[in-house]
Amino acid sequence: MNYCLYYQAKLEAKTTLFVTATLRSFDNLVFDRCLNEKNIFEFFVPDGSQEEFLKIMSFFQENGIVTDLIKCDNRLI
């Protein structure tokens, strides 16, 4: 069984809806959800979507919208 790759990142509070809406506009690219009240989000990324996900997140990082993007062990396994 294949599991999604797991990432965490901090989002700017005022741009949270923009980031999540942008990611959700791509079919089956990523599942996201808020992990805690400090705007830390978790992202579950199918293996085949990792490259596209990282390109989008790189754009967000370059523009100061996303910080501290890290790949972690999937906490649901």
Total residue length of the chain: 77
Q: Residue 74 has what pLDDT? A: 83
Domain-embedded: residue 55: yes
Helix 50-62 × helix 16-24 angle, to 10°: 150
Q: Could you tell me the residue range of the domain that residue 9 belongs to? A: 5-72
In a domain, 42, yes or no: yes
Q: What is the pLDDT of residue 2?
A: 82
Tens digit of each residue's pLDDT (9 = 90 or more) over 41-52: 999 999 999 999
Per the domain annotation, does 57 fall within a domain? yes
Task: For residue 27, give the CATH number of its domain.
Answer: 3.30.70
CA distances from 4 to 38, 55, 59, 70 (A): 24, 17, 22, 14
pLDDT tens digits along 2-52 = 889 999 999 999 999 999 999 999 999 999 999 888 999 999 999 999 999
Residue 17: inside a domain: yes
Contact (CB, 8 A) for 19 and 67: no
Of 63, 67, 59, the C-alpha closest to 39 is: 67
Instruction: Tell whether the model's pLDDT for residue 69 goes beyond 90.
Output: yes
Q: Into how many domains does the chain fold?
A: 1
How does DSSP classify residue 14? G
What's the predicted TM-score (pTM) here? 0.90
